[in-house]
Amino acid sequence: MADMDKYAVFGNPIKQSKSPAIHTAFAGQCDHRLQYRAVRVEEDDFERATRAFFSEGGRGLNVTVPFKQEAFALADRLSDRARRAGAVNTLSVAEDGAIEGDNTDGVGIVRDMVANLGWMVQGMRVLIIGAGGAVRGVLAPLMRERPKSLLVVNRTAARATQLAEEFSDLGAIEGGGYDLIDERQFDLVINASSAGLSGEAPDLPAGLLTEHSCCYDMVYGNEPTPFMRWAAHHAAWAVADGLGMLVEQAAESFYIWRRVRPETQSVISELRLAMEAA
């Protein structure tokens, strides 16, 4: 494989990553020869491992939890969307040797919701649950879709308030604690909280949804997530997990590296079938 361009995803944990399967599928579509691996990096070793990867000829890296802020700090140059997000999930090496950082998470979620699922963001009342790094990456792209309003809530209300203030120049963004949800309804609810990772659903009021509400969980699994089950129980019009977002953000990374935009629908379908069979 000495003649293949080398790519990888760095994270911790990383064992369950689907990125190698996704990028291998993209390469096959585009008839590109490349090698893509998932690499577990110790939490105090990210910068050394990244610089070693590029110095040894690596062409591009995806970066996942918990290294997106470290990748932001390490990059020599940042795209506008990475700078706005304050986080990087895609690193590449330029012709002059500089390490360039980008963030494709927001592009991924918008493409999945709008192009793949056919959902509307424009004119919608949007609720985002959670205020971590994942939310930072998606706020600006979501606001470019011109929702009517966007509320970010978080158990630690100050984090959501800070996010809303930081992005307030983009439009009507509000942030705070879960109490801001009371007596309000939303057209689009996005779960970006850590509750789903521990098998729990966020504590949400029953009257949150209308008969036309769409609910999106940024995580995914072989079974519907607790938030998805909550949404279905409360008669959401449509419910989806984050598998499509994963594939779409990967497609944007592939485009950054290879200047070819792969087709995503077949890859999403193949991953879904494999998960259901597991």
Specify the pLDDT at position 198: 67
CA pair distance 180, 192, nearest whole angstrom? 17
Say if CB 26 and CB 250 are below 8 A apart.
Answer: yes
- Structure token pair of residue 156: 């630690």
Q: Which of 6, 15, 68, 148 is catalytic?
A: 68
Q: What is the separation of C-alpha 32 from the centre of its chain, rounded to a whole number of angstroms?
A: 25
Residue tagged 């497609």 (tokens): 251
Tens-digit pLDDT string for the chain (278 aa) = 447 899 999 999 998 899 999 999 999 999 999 999 999 999 999 999 999 999 999 999 999 989 999 999 999 999 999 999 999 999 999 999 999 999 999 999 999 999 999 999 999 999 999 998 889 999 999 999 999 999 999 999 999 999 999 999 999 899 999 999 998 999 999 999 877 666 777 889 989 999 999 999 999 988 899 999 999 999 899 999 999 999 999 999 999 999 999 999 999 999 999 998 87
As annotated, the binding site for shikimate includes 17-19, 64, 89, 105, 220, 249
- Please work out, in degrees rounded to the nearest 5, the angle formed at the alpha carbon of residue 22 by the alpha carbons of 17 and 27: 140
Q: Give every strand in the sheet of 173-176, ordered side by side.
A: 173-176, 149-153, 125-129, 186-191, 209-217, 238-240
Specify the pLDDT at position 197: 62
As annotated, the binding site includes 17-19, 64, 80, 89, 105, 130-134, 154-159, 218, 220, 242, 249
Q: Quick one: which H or E segment has residue 240?
A: strand 238-240
Active site annotation includes 68: yes
Q: Which residues contact 176 (CB under 8 A, 6 or more apart)?
A: 152, 153, 157, 160, 161, 164
C-alpha torsion 40→135→239→187, nearest 10: 180
Say if CB 63 and CB 88 are below 8 A apart.
Answer: yes
Specify the pLDDT at position 1: 43
Specify the pLDDT at position 196: 62
Q: Which residues contact 122 (CB under 8 A, 6 or more apart)?
A: 145, 146, 147
Q: How do beta strands 58-63 and 90-93 pair?
A: antiparallel
| Residue whose C-alpha is closest to residue 247's, from 267, 272, 261 | 267
| Residue whose C-alpha is closest to residue 152's, from 141, 138, 240 | 138
As annotated, the binding site for NADP(+) includes 80, 130-134, 154-159, 218, 242
